[in-house]
Homo-oligomer: A and B are copies of this chain.
Amino acid sequence: MIIGDVMGSVWATRKDEKLNGLKLLIVKPIYNDDLASTFVAADLAGAGVGDTVLVTRGSSARSAFGKERLPIDSVIVGVVDSIDMIQNE
């Protein structure tokens, strides 16, 4: 999983109907300032813009939902309360 910041949201009217009802948020990995690292994740934790979140990527993202056939490769599985890090040597 990675930790990221929710930067915004994306809207698509014309889309695979299996995505209907999902909130699609734009996430930037927390320690990466390159915009090219942003991606879109389906929200499963009630997250919003400004939240720091925990994101699961790849096929495991589908495991968060009850449906194997969902075309989702990233999902927000938690809202981060705190991070404890030792100093990087």
Contacts and interface: CB of A to CB of B under 8 A. Distances in A.
Is chain A's binding surface mostly helix, strand, loop or mixed? mixed
Interface of A: 1-3, 7-16, 18-19, 24, 26, 28-29, 31-42, 44-46, 49-50, 54, 56-64, 66, 68-75, 77-86, 88
A59 B60 CA distance: 6
Given A7-B85, A12-B45, A12-B79, 9 more contacts: A10-B84, A11-B84, A12-B78, A15-B79, A26-B83, A28-B88, A57-B73, A59-B60, A66-B69
Q: How many monomers of this chain does the complex have?
A: 5
Contact of A83 (B10, B29, B64, B78): B10
A61 B62 contact: no
